[in-house]
């Protein structure tokens, strides 16, 4: 097996991975950096982010306000020391991107423009029309081309971490193009492999978001945190889950039920604000969890519109007018016309909540370090946690930057701490075991389970039992089912025996990752007997700050369900309070 | 890779393309009328000669012919390439030589008028 | 949501068993609102798990699903079934070597993109603490269109000059250089000219215009390339006829 | 093992594979006619410099069926060249006024208008 020797290996070349790579290259041009990604960097799902990235820059804003919005939005499950660090770094990182050429939208005087976003009290979301993530990703990717020390391994699928002497010393990866396994020996590894929304059938997430990074760390023995918090975005296209950015509502779009009522006022987010004059943190500018829950309420009351793709409510943007829509939301218009055949300039768009983001992920501290020395994580796959029980829109893109860089700096500190040389033979043995696992998977001919079949059962389970509102019995069913699917996974059949670009094999590996993550989600949800943020239980409707102002940590077990541990939330300034999204009252 | 010297020719090509786009159809129409004897007293020696005898006229005629030649020459070079002939150096010499000769002759004739 | 039976004719190539590509036809029940990518996914899930192709976002933004659909370079996730008859032919992107099935090798494009220095080379140094560079909406608009490129390479699949002369830098790479050249914050044009104003750079383009016709993001690379030619020509004449103008 | 397959592309007949390539080649080939026509003009100039008889003989020769046909073909080619040239000018030379770009249609329209004026002048002078 070919060995690639490097100083720091990064798994994932989305927003977080690229930011980390650039930070490493800038910190020390002599560092050897291996940037490993299963897709070409600009294909990473950061490209799909539309709305924008939050950071305090305008004079009417303050760090304290961003802090308050984030912690309240996260239903006090956020670690406040992490949030403090995050909001301090946010404007610097967004300005840094500007210096790298990101085409942020501008005010007439040439300064960067900001837009309102759900759950934010002040306009503080930097945006590049409605293609913010796309521009961030391409700016980072293109900037990374400046640094010769960043060696890219595009279309390499990371399969296992190498852990020896209690620290992470590299990984194995499959070169997809050739089907060959490669061993990467590194003094530190940063995982930035994105989220895992694909374990649900109806999601804004791309095909590549299969929780690989989380599963890699999890299997290597470092716990996953708060996995039960899965964010639904309230405005997805009903037929395929394509996201209509929160910017739609930020710019003044409103939500109606089938009777033409602005129903959000019936869910504690009123009073109704005049059309075309959105008020921050009120009505349509409430947070995602509340809006998605309100949809569920309307559906139960029979107030939704039925469409060929299921029950919907209507997002009306007509009053914004063609000019504003074309300037601020061109992609949204294009997506509605192309994929639904409806023009938001002319008619309201049917929408429904869709799985969007995972608040949980690899447990890291404020330094982006995991519990495994030498292993760091950043981006959606990590859980620092700044997002707590519910992420505010536009905090994630910023998080990629802030903690991508942080992970890089921590990794450098780690390798400068005087590490002993790795034991080549031991690492090679692990790498060989990893290779053997893959080739066994590929060569098995007597499997009876199909990838597509198991995947569908997993998705159905997650959708029916682990949705916006959950109950103990459904969650118990889900836990059993996922655990069963994990057993059956061992009996999977692979039809494609070709080494070159074997997507069948990739899907099998991805399914493995998703099942591991799904188990952490279901077990975490079953055991969290309260309602907080995105985790709402019909059998425990209240938030329980006495017993559960805590993070869930799930520990992997190869055959059994995970072991669950709880960890106190870090509170520095803000004691749990009431989340108030009826700002218009005051 | 050094910067190309194609701009010399491309500049002429572009200027020529614009000039021919504006005047060649009309010119062709005039000569077509003349060829078809559309009207006996058009395109007469006297009128044309008077035009070409004057310095401004000479300049206009030279400008049109010069730019048209170089426009056509450069595009011919590309077109020959597009038809699969890969001897670009040789083709370039031939077409630019043709345009050069045409330019020279035009100058000579104009000075004789 | 009507359903139609579509005959999907896909070019297959397995480098380990085939000496050359061949077509394979799948009969796929398609919803009318589907895109060709949905049909391929149907094949992969239900008919033939060995079919290989790239995709991710399903919303025409990641740029991975470029292929030839009825001979036309398209994003499979933006090729609507209802725009086709019941017979659809799918080929890997033209002008690129086929790695396997619908997967092509794109290293050449990536290397070319990297070669044009597609990043901001700032006119002036400015520390982060001094805040952002000012840029008016008009200055932004000047290059905005060229930032929309998703690197899908459909323009390369459409450009015959790239097919005929593989060394050609090609539409998207040169447009990206132009994007930075046009940015009011940038001062790197001279460096990029060294790469793009060459014989295998912009001068290989004969303004076929196919690139802009197929570009799913309306980047108009053909326009960008002509603008680069105009600017390079002005450079040349300035340099040679008015040497005193040189910096 | 990797064995990328390169599809053959004919260097001499590639342009037959797509309509847009045929349109392109038609546009490129106009230059041959413009080339030839310009030489005709040079020839005419020579005859003009040789005096009225020579010039009249030249005009006479133009009138042959071949001459008429040639002029006709050139006319068609030249018109095709003009339209294909003007239609793409906004791409090559966009004009930004304030924040917005002048719509391509206006730039193309202006060229067509100017074309009409130029043609009129040539016709008035020539006829
Ligand atoms: C449609 C949509 C809109 C959004 N809009 C916003 C918004 O407006 N504002 C906001 O703040 N957030 C938004 N988000 C959330 C945000 O975009 C994501 O959380 C963020 O982009 C994730 O970035 P990342 O770098 O962590 O991962 P990604 O960009 O997903 O990148 C993951 C990387 O990991 C690699 N990878 C994964 N597995 C492996 C493996 N096994 N081996 C090797 N490489 C691997 C992939 O190739 C990829 O390069 C949005 C999300 C979606 C889906
Ligand atoms: S210019 Fe257009 S066609 Fe070419 S790569 Fe970019 S987006 Fe794709
Ligand atoms: S198709 Fe090719 S030749 Fe030029 S205008 Fe576009 S790059
Ligand atoms: S799947 Fe992303 S562009 Fe088609």
The verdict on B40 touching D (C-beta cutoff 8 Å) is: no
Testing ligand 1's pocket by substitution, the residue of A396, A503, A512 carrying the most ligand atoms inside 8 A of its CB is A396
Instruction: Give pLDDT tens digits for C67-87.
Output: 999 999 999 999 999 999 999
Residue listed under structure tokens 């980047």: C219
Nearest-CA neighbor of B60 among B101, B28, B18, B19?
B19
Specify the pLDDT at position C239.
85
pLDDT mean across residues, chain B: 92
Both tokens assigned to C238: 């300035």
Which of B24, B31, B98 lies nearest to residue D34, judging by beta carbons?
B24
Question: Is A495 an annotated catalytic residue?
Answer: no
In a domain, A568, yes or no: no
The verdict on A306 touching C (C-beta cutoff 8 Å) is: no
Give contacts of C14 with chain A, Cβ < 8 Å. Answer: 498, 500
Give the separation between CA B98 and CA B79, rounded to whole angstroms: 16
Closest-approach residue (CA) in chain C for A132: C148
Residues A24 and A110 in one domain: yes
In a domain, A558, yes or no: no
Residues A343 and A386 in one domain: no
Domain segments of chain C as ranges: 3-104, 107-245
Give contacts of B82 with chain C, Cβ < 8 Å. Answer: 160, 206
Residues A140 and A224 in one domain: yes
Testing ligand 2's pocket by substitution, the residue of C221, C223, C225 carrying the most ligand atoms inside 8 A of its CB is C221
Which member of A167, A233, A363, A414 is catalytic? A233
Which of A101, A110, A496 lies nearest to residue C134, judging by beta carbons?
A110
Specify the pLDDT at position A419.
86
Specify the pLDDT at position C74.
98
Nearest-CA neighbor of C178 among C240, C220, C130, C124?
C220
Mutate to test the interface with D, among B18, B20, B97 (most CBs of D within 10 A): B20
Nearest-CA neighbor of A188 among A17, A363, A22, A34?
A34
Residue range of the domain that includes A31: 2-229+359-423
Taking CA atoms only, the protein residue closest to ligand 2 atom 7 is C149
DSSP H or E segment with residue A2:
strand A2-5
Give contacts of C229 with chain D, Cβ < 8 Å. Answer: 92
What residues of chain A score a pLDDT lower than 70? Answer: 583-586
Residue listed under structure tokens 């699903």: C65
Query: Mean pLDDT, to the nearest integer, of D10-36?
Result: 96
Specify the pLDDT at position A527.
97
Testing ligand 4's pocket by substitution, the residue of C35, C63, C69, C148 carrying the most ligand atoms inside 8 A of its CB is C63
Cβ–Cβ gap A146/C119 under 8 Å: yes
C-alpha C55 to ligand 4 mean position (Å): 5
pLDDT at residue B90 greater than cutoff 70: yes
Backbone angles phi, psi at A70, to 5 degrees: -70, -45
Tally of structural domains, chain A: 3
Residues A219 and A269 in one domain: no
Both tokens assigned to A386: 């700044």
Nearest-CA neighbor of D3 among C237, C17, B3, A491?
C17
Which ligand has the minimum distance to the alpha carbon of residue A242?
1
Q: What is the pTM of this model?
A: 0.96
Helical ranges in A28-104 per DSSP H: 63-73, 80-99
In a domain, A116, yes or no: yes
Residues A252 and A328 in one domain: yes
Mutate to test the interface with D, among A108, A323, A498, A500 (most CBs of D within 10 A): A500
Specify the pLDDT at position B40.
64
Q: How confident is the model at residue C1 (pLDDT cuts 50, 70, 90)?
A: low
Specify the pLDDT at position A584.
47
Taking CA atoms only, the protein residue closest to ligand 3 atom 7 is C171
Residues A431 and A398 in one domain: no
Domain segments of chain D as ranges: 14-94
Give the separation between CA A130 and CA A141, rounded to whole angstroms: 19
Give contacts of D11 with chain B, Cβ < 8 Å. Answer: 84, 86
Q: Which atom of ligand 4 is nearest to the CA of C77?
A: 4
Instruction: Give pLDDT tens digits for A336-361.
Output: 999 998 999 999 999 999 999 999 99
DSSP H or E segment with residue A153:
strand A150-154
Taking the CA of residue C193 and the nearest CA in chain B, the distance in Å comes to 8
Question: What is the architecture, at CATH level 2, of domain C107-245?
Answer: Orthogonal Bundle (1.10)
- The greatest distance separating any two alpha carbons of chain A, rounded to the nearest whole angstrom, comes to 70
In a domain, A575, yes or no: no
Adjacent-strand bridge partners of A311: A306
Which member of A66, A249, A328, A352 is catalytic? A249
Q: What is the CA radius of gyration of chain C?
A: 21
Residue listed under structure tokens 């080649």: D25
Residue listed under structure tokens 């006709």: D72
Candidate CATH numbers 3.30.460.10, 3.30.70.980, 3.30.70.1560, 3.10.20.30; the one for domain C3-104: 3.10.20.30
The one-character DSSP state at A396 is: H
Question: Is A535 an annotated catalytic residue?
Answer: no
Residues A300 and A365 in one domain: no
In a domain, A571, yes or no: no
Give contacts of C98 with chain D, Cβ < 8 Å. Answer: 4-7
Specify the pLDDT at position A586.
44
Give the separation between CA C64 and CA C69, rounded to whole angstroms: 15
Q: Which domains does chain B have, with CATH numbers?
A: 7-112 (1.20.1300.10)
Give contacts of D91 with chain C, Cβ < 8 Å. Answer: 209, 212, 220, 222-223, 226
Parallel, antiparallel or unpaired: strands A33-37 and D96-97: unpaired
C-alpha D82 to ligand 4 mean position (Å): 39
Q: How far is CA A327 from CA A130, A135, A330, A346, A394, in A?
A: 9, 16, 6, 16, 19
CATH classification of D14-94 is 3.30.450.20, yes or no? no
Instruction: Give pLDDT tens digits for C186-229.
Output: 999 999 999 999 999 999 999 999 999 999 999 999 999 999 99
What sign results for the dihedral spanned by CA atoms C213, C214, C215, C216?
positive
Instruction: Give pLDDT tens digits for B14-56.
Output: 999 999 999 999 999 999 998 887 766 678 898 899 999 999 9
Neighbours of chain D (3+ CB pairs under 8 A): A, B, C
DSSP H or E segment with residue D28:
helix D19-49
Residues A347 and A366 in one domain: no
ipTM of this model? 0.96
Q: What interhelical angle do A503-527 and A472-489 show, nearest 10?
A: 150
Residues A394 and A529 in one domain: no
* CATH code, A323: 3.90.700.10
Residues A166 and A24 in one domain: yes
Taking the CA of residue B29 and the nearest CA in chain C, the distance in Å comes to 28
CB-based contacts of A316-319 (< 8 A; 24+ apart in sequence)? A316/A253, A316/A254, A316/A255, A316/A256, A316/A348, A316/A349, A317/A248, A317/A251, A317/A252, A317/A253, A317/A344, A317/A345, A317/A348, A317/A349, A318/A344, A318/A345, A318/A346, A318/A347, A318/A348, A319/A252, A319/A275, A319/A276
CB A564 within 8 A of CB A554: yes
Taking the CA of residue D17 and the nearest CA in chain B, the distance in Å comes to 14
pLDDT mean across residues, chain C: 95
Taking the CA of residue D94 and the nearest CA in chain C, the distance in Å comes to 9
Which residues of chain B from 90 to 109 reach within 8 Å of chain D, CB to CB?
98, 102, 105-106, 109
Cβ–Cβ gap C141/D2 under 8 Å: no
Going by C-beta distance under 8 Å and a sequence separation of 6 or more, which residues neighbour residue A549? A76, A77, A568, A569, A576
C-alpha A422 to ligand 3 mean position (Å): 52
Adjacent-strand bridge partners of A36: A11, A153
Q: How confident is the model at residue C243 (pLDDT cuts 50, 70, 90)?
A: confident
Taking the CA of residue C120 and the nearest CA in chain B, the distance in Å comes to 22
The verdict on B5 touching C (C-beta cutoff 8 Å) is: yes
Q: How confident is the model at residue B85 (pLDDT cuts 50, 70, 90)?
A: very high
Both tokens assigned to B100: 């050069």
Strand order in the sheet with A125-126: A53-54, A125-126, A114-115
Both tokens assigned to A530: 């309260």
């Amino acid at each position: 097996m070919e060995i690639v020797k490097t100083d720091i290996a990064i798994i994932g070349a989305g927003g977080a991975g690229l930011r980390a790579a650039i930070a490493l290259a800038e910190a020390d041009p002599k560092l050897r950096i291996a940037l490993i990604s299963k897709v070409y960097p600009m294909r990473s799902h950061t490209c799909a982010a539309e709305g924008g990235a939050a950071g305090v820059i305008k004079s009417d804003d303050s760090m304290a306000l961003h802090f308050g919005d984030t912690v309240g939005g996260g239903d006090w499950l956020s670690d406040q020391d992490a949030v403090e660090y995050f909001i301090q770094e946010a404007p610097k990182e967004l300005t840094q991107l500007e210096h790298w050429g990101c085409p942020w939208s501008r005010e007439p005087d040439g300064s960067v423009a900001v837009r309102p976003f759900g759950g934010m009290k002040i306009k503080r979301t930097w945006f590049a029309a409605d293609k913010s993530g796309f521009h961030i990703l391409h700016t980072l990717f293109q900037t990374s081309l400046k640094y010769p020390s960043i060696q890219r391994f595009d279309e390499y699928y990371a399969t296992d971490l190498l852990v020896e002497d209690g620290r992470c010393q590299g990984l194995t990866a499959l070169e997809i193009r050739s089907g060959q396994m490669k061993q990467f020996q590194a003094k530190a590894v940063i995982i930035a492999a994105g989220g895992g929304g694909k374990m649900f059938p109806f999601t804004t997430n791309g095909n590549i978001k299969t929780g690989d990074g989380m599963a890699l760390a999890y299997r290597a023995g470092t716990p996953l945190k708060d996995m039960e918090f899965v964010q639904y975005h309230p405005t997805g296209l009903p037929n395929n889950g394509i996201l209509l950015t929160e910017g739609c509502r930020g710019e003044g779009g409103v939500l109606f039920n089938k009777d033409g009522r602005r129903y959000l006022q019936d869910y504690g987010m009123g009073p109704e604000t005049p059309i075309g004059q959105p008020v921050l943190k009120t009505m349509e500018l409430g947070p995602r969890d509340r809006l998605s829950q309100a949809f569920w309420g309307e559906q139960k009351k029979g107030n939704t519109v039925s469409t060929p793709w299921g029950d919907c409510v209507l997002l009306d943007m007509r009053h914004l007018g063609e000019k504003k829509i074309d300037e601020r939301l061109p992609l949204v218009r294009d997506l509605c016309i192309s994929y639904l055949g409806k023009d938001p300039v002319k008619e309201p768009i049917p929408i429904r909540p869709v799985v969007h983001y995972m608040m949980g992920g690899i447990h890291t501290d404020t330094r982006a370090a995991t519990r495994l020395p030498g292993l760091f994580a950043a981006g959606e796959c990590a859980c620092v946690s700044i997002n707590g029980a519910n992420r505010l829109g536009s905090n994630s893109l910023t998080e990629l930057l802030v903690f991508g860089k942080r992970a890089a700096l921590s990794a450098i500190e780690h390798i400068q701490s005087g590490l002993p040389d790795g034991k080549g033979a031991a690492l090679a043995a692990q790498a060989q075991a990893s290779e053997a696992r893959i080739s066994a998977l590929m060569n098995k001919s007597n499997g009876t389970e199909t990838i597509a079949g198991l995947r569908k059962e997993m998705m159905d389970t997650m959708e029916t039992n682990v949705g916006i509102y959950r109950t103990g019995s459904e969650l118990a069913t889900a836990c059993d089912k996922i655990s069963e699917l994990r057993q059956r996974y061992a009996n999977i059949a692979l039809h494609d025996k070709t080494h070159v670009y074997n997507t069948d094999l990739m899907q099998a590996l991805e399914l493995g990752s998703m099942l591991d993550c799904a188990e952490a989600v279901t077990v975490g949800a079953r055991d969290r007997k309260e309602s907080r943020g995105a985790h709402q239980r019909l059998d425990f409707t209240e938030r329980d700050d006495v017993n559960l102002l805590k993070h869930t940590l799930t520990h992997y077990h190869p055959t059994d369900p995970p072991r669950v541990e709880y960890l106190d939330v870090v509170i520095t300034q803000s004691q749990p309070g009431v989340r108030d999204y009826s700002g218009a009252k005051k | 890779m050094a910067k190309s010297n194609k701009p010399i020719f491309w500049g002429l090509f572009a200027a020529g393309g614009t000039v021919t786009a504006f005047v060649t159809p009309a010119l062709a129409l005039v000569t077509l009328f003349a060829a078809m004897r559309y009207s006996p007293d058009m395109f007469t020696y006297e009128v044309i000669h008077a035009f070409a005898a004057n310095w401004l006229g000479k300049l206009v005629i030279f400008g049109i012919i010069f730019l048209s030649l170089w426009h056509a020459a450069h595009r011919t070079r590309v077109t020959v390439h597009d038809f699969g002939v890969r001897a670009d150096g040789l083709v370039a010499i031939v077409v630019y030589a043709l345009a050069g000769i045409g330019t020279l002759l035009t100058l000579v004739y104009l000075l004789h008028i | 949501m009507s359903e139609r039976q579509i005959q999907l004719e896909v070019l297959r190539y397995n480098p380990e068993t085939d000496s050359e590509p061949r077509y394979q036809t799948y009969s796929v029940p398609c919803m009318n609102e589907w895109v060709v990518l949905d049909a391929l996914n149907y094949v992969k899930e239900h008919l033939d798990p060995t079919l290989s192709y790239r995709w991710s976002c399903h919303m025409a933004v990641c740029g991975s699903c470029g292929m030839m659909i009825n001979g036309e370079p398209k994003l499979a996730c933006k090729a609507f079934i209802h725009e086709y008859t019941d017979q659809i032919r799918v080929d890997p992107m033209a002008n690129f070597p086929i790695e396997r099935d619908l997967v092509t090798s794109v290293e050449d494009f990536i290397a070319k993109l990297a070669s044009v220095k597609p990043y901001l080379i700032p006119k002036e140094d400015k520390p982060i603490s001094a805040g952002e560079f000012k840029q008016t909406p008009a200055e932004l608009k000047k290059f905005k269109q060229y930032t929309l490129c998703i690197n899908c390479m459909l323009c390369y699949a459409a450009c015959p000059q790239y097919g005929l002369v593989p060394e050609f830098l090609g539409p998207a790479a040169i447009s990206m250089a132009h994007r930075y050249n046009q940015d009011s914050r940038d001062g790197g044009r001279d460096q990029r000219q060294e790469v793009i104003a060459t014989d295998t750079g912009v001068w290989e383009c004969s303004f076929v215009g196919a690139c802009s016709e197929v570009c799913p993001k309306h980047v108009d690379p053909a326009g960008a390339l002509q603008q680069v030619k105009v600017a390079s020509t002005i450079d040349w004449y300035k340099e040679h006829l008015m040497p005193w103008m040189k910096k | 093992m990797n064995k990328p397959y390169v599809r053959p592309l004919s260097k001499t007949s590639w342009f037959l594979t797509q309509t847009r390539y045929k349109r392109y080649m038609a546009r490129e080939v106009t230059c041959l006619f413009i080339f030839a026509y310009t030489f005709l003009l040079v020839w005419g100039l020579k005859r003009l410099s040789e005096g009225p008889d020579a010039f009249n003989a030249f005009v006479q020769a133009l009138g042959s069926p071949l001459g008429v046909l040639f002029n006709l073909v050139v006319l068609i080619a030249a018109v095709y060249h003009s339209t294909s040239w003007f239609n793409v000018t906004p791409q090559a030379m966009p004009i930004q006024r304030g924040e917005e770009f002048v719509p391509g249609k206006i730039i193309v329209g202006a060229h067509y208008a100017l074309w009409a004026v130029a043609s009129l002048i040539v016709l008035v002078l020539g006829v």
